[in-house]
Structure 1
Amino acid sequence: MDLFRGTQAFVAVAETGSFRKAATQLGVTAAAVSKAVLVLERDTGARLFNRTSRHVELTSDGRAYYERCREALAQVQAGRDLLSASRKRPHGKLTVSTSYVVARYVLSMAADWLSDHPEVELELRGSDQLSRLNREDVDIGIRVGPVSDDDLVARELRRTQWVTVGSPSYLARRGEPKRPEDLTRHECVRFVMPRGDLHTWAFASGPVPLA
């Protein structure tokens, strides 16, 4: 049995004092409201309204039932409002898998973001793997480099720029390279990409590649 069947129509009639006004409030026909109240009276076995051609008023049973129904509907509406509000603001657990090379930047930004979203629990995981990202239990993955997996929806956050650097003590000992080919006589550290291949050093002067 549907305990709320006809209850909304009954409360609307009780509060407006009219089947027609209740129908307008609920966005239905007056006949639909009248039928809903009649079914409710049949189900409860009580006469809820005294009806005349010009006036509708609650019976003693109707007044007692109205007080309880009003409270119940108010609680239901409060529950709906709570759910609606919770959907409008971020809450719950957010799992982010981030590449190690950008992890510290993500951490620095996460602190400010969490202060604005106190109902979010953030879990950060460090990983450079791309092949398993869509199989991990994560909400967001942050990686460096192109994404070739068609199963992933990717958005570019920012472009990275590679720079070649050397410590002052090393350059004082080995000399400062002037051209890309000078690097063949130097000890170079190369970055290992997520798939395991070494990042290729490439140099250009504007649009013209040098090496």
Structure 2
Amino acid sequence: MDLNRVAIFVRIVEAGGVTAAAAKLKLPKSSVSRSLTQLEQELGMALLVRGHRQLNLSDAGRSFFEAASKGLAAVEEAKDGILDQHRTPSGVVRLALPNFGTHHFGAMIARFVRKYPAVEIEVTTTTHQADPIRDGFDLALTMGKLADSSLIVRPLGRGDSGIFASAGYLKKRGMPHSPADLAKHDCVLYRTTARKGKWALSRGKEAQSVTVSGPLRVDSLALLLATMLDDAGLGLLPVHLAGTDPSMQNLTRVLPDYVVAGEALQLVYPASRHTPQRVRLLCEHLVASSAGCPNDRGPNPA
């Protein structure tokens, strides 16, 4: 069996199609397609079902991919393991970050680059849940439940939120002293189209749901922060950013004993291929730098 054809098949599945795989491999599309056909002929079975818009794995193709990708990863890991012992970490890491906390994680990344100056990091901020395989990233920071169980997950904890407001707003409207007081205030609502929302506040074992409202609703944490800095009202922002994001230093924590439990934060990367040394080192650096922050490190969400 031609192992080059097996490797090309694995890349086709990882990339989601022949065209994308050809671009990543820097090979003509016709060559990649021909390699797939020859592999199927050699095995005597179809590995992919050709649809109108996409390629889907056949049952045989799924089994073959799982075995082949593990074998290919083992070979690459053995090769890179030997090389890693004799080389300085270098190359490019493509990292996806959500459009929140960029300053918080940016400081961690800057420290990593100072430690490993031969490593280049391309950071892309996203408004959606990044998928390393689908979107072509080496490493991604995600929040919430993951749909793809094939990814390796390194949990960072939970992004709990606190209630914040600007000094200007509090001077005009006063400081809330209890959760019930929140109903009397303008609240900037995040990711909702409803005029009212519910904040599930907790303090130790105490939990209560408070209905809040306000004339402003946004779908971006960056926009939420900007409006709050301009005295628009109370809002929920990640607690762990308070000490690292300079903009949040101009906000005051309201009802500081209460939090709204956030979603799980995690670093994810593909399990179906060898992870380069530079990616492993960056992942370990971010995990270590995040220890204890965010708060309440939770279990592996996978």
Q: How many corresponding residue pairs?
A: 128
What's the TM-score, normalizing by structure 2? 0.37
Find the partner of 2:203 among 202, 205, 209: 205
After superposition, what is the alpha-carbon deviation per residue over 1:178-197, rounded to whole angstroms, capped at 9, x for unaligned? Answer: 2223222211123339xx99
1:92-121 deviations in whole A, cap 9, x for unaligned? 110000011122122211122112212211
Could you tell me which runs of 5 or more consecutive residues in structure 2 were left unpaired when the two chains were aligned.
1-78, 210-302
Correspondence for 1:173: 172
2:107 is aligned to 108
Match in the other structure for 2:291:
none
**TM-score relative to the length of structure 1:** 0.51
Q: Which runs of 4+ in 1 moved over 4 A?
A: 85-88, 196-200
Tell me which of the two structures has the higher relative contact order, counting C-alpha pairs closer than 8 angstroms and 6 or more residues apart.
2
Task: Give 1:26's aligned residue.
Answer: none
Q: In structure 1, list runs of 5 or more residues that go unmatched.
A: 1-79
Deviation (angstroms), 1:132: 4.5
Cα separation, 2, equivalents of 1:155 and 1:116: 22
Q: Residues 168-210 of structure 1, C-alpha deviation per residue, up to 9 Å, x if partnerless?
A: 22122122222223222211123339xx999952112311212
Tell me which amino acid in the other structure corresponds to 1:134: I
Corresponding position of 2:163: 164
Counterparts of 1:10-25 in structure 2, within 5 Å, are none
What SS does structure 1 have at the residue aligned with 2:101?
helix
Listed as ranges, the matches of 1:47-196 within 5 Å are 84-85=83-84, 89-130=88-129, 132-192=131-191
Q: CA RMSD in A?
A: 3.1
The 3 A distance-change label for structure 1 pair 135 and 192 is same
Inter-partner Cα distance in structure 2 for 1:128 and 1:86: 38
Distance 1:100 1:163 in 2: 18
Q: Distance in 1 between matches of 2:101 and 2:170?
A: 27
Deviation digits for residues 35-71 of structure 1 (CA, Å, limit 9, x no counterpart):
xxxxxxxxxxxxxxxxxxxxxxxxxxxxxxxxxxxxx
Q: Looking at CA atoms only, which structure, 1 or 2, has the larger radius of gyration? A: 1
Compare the two structures and name the one with the higher helix fraction.
1
State the distance in 2 between where 1:90 and 1:200 align: 48
Identity %: 24
